Homo-oligomer: A and B are copies of this chain.
Amino acid sequence: MANFDLMRRLTLDKGGKIILLVMDGVGGLPREQGGPTELEAAHTPNLDRLAREGSSGLSIPVARGVAPGSGPAHLALFGYDPLVYEIGRGVLEATGIGLQVNPGDVAIRGNFCTVDENGIITDRRAGRISTEEGAKRIEVLKDITLPGVEIDIEIAKEYRFAMVLRGAGLNGAIADTDPQQTGVPPLPAKALDPAAEKTAGLVNQWLAEARARLKGHEPANMATLRGFAMEPGLPKYGDVYKLKAACVAVYPMYKGVAGLVGMDVIPTSAHDTTADEFEHVARIWNDYDFVFCHIKYTDSRGEDGDFDAKVKVIEDVDEALPRLLDLNPDVLIVTGDHSTPATYRAHSWHPVPTLLWAPATHMTDRAQAYGERECIMGALGQFPAPDLMPMALAHAKRLQKFGA
């Protein structure tokens, strides 16, 4: 029985309330042999108390040895096996810059490129123009129209943009138009499935119009499209978990993935601090069973390779934590979507320190603090990340007994 069939069968539509606090990339490594990790180095009296009282463990996002991107890593935390449920690249890119992707929509990644007078690509990235220059070209393309289709298009970064097509009968089974080399013209959009012929035709119409409008806008005088993908139709939180769920996050991509699984996305400002995010959680707390709260900067500082700055982000979270505890959640989970050790400067595969605090039902173990080595000794053991949601539901008394 697939995980969700079991959940649909066992979940109750009442029970305790759950906070899932995700410090992105929280897991780390010692800076020097024998030294502490970022999490171990941070002064975190609140988190350490929760670890002493509750259960600790290590979560494996996708599979042992596999470093995940943010999309699959969050899907896993939300209970979706990321090897079964994949979000297409176009959808990730579009949601990542805040475009809405709804069922039936086709989302696409785009690159500005340079073509010569014969239409041959001379630079696949248009000289890596600035985001500002990219945004100017988007303005040129914004009012292209296609029959029966609504188009959303936004700059992502530099020469990259994202586009969402909305309309009846669209299909995303279309091959990339980026030929992945220079010296050849861009490819026409080609349907990979007969059902996508109509959409491919519309895309080619858009490309012709884009070429005409970008003429003279060198070096970004043409565009290629790739990563065509439909809204993935993921099972929704309300359906499989019977949870009214909300997302408090600052970065669009996490809002996007949360939206795809059926969470309500709470408006935030790009400048919100951790304390601000916790205020948002407090504000909406009465209206939801489950709140996912996402802290971005642990990952960012890890990717920067800045060990001390990552420690500081963790300490800020710990300092702000009483605001969440004051809400008296029945279950509070603190974890990461993956590890981002500052020494590694990238997402890694190391299992993620995880803390489950649920005073009515948690097993107290010997972990004395929230940190990698304490988690090794924890009651949760090492577990696949998609097992976290069933554990959260169980501790919230939202799962029936299986069988008689």
Contacts and interface: CB of A to CB of B under 8 A. Distances in A.
Query: How often does this chain occur in the complex, in copies?
Result: 2
A62 interface: yes
A393 B64 CA distance: 10
> Which of A3, A6, A62, A66 has the most chain B CB within a 10 Å cutoff?
A66
Measured as residues with beta carbon below 8 angstroms from the partner, the interface class of chain A is 35 or more
A328 interface: no
A1 interface: yes
Contacts of A34: 364
B402 A89 contact: no
B6 A89 contact: no
Given A364-B34, A377-B376, A378-B376, A66 B6 contact: yes
Interface stretch (A161-169, A243-251, A380-388): A380-388
Nearest to A361: B344
A68 B10 CA distance: 11
Contacts of A103: none
Contact of A376 (B10, B70, B379): B379
A346 B402 CA distance: 12
Interface of A: 1, 3, 6, 10, 29-30, 33-34, 53, 58, 62-73, 82-84, 86-87, 89, 92-93, 341, 343-344, 346-351, 359, 361, 363-366, 372-373, 376-379, 381-383, 387, 389-395, 399, 401-404
A364 B30 contact: yes
A72 B349 CA distance: 27
9 contacts: A1-B83, A58-B381, A62-B402, A64-B391, A71-B403, A71-B404, A73-B403, A346-B401, A351-B381
A225 B22 CA distance: 49
A378 B403 CA distance: 29
B391 A65 contact: yes
Contact of A69 (B33, B347, B376, B402): B402
A382 B377 CA distance: 12
A399 B66 contact: yes
Nearest to A1: B83
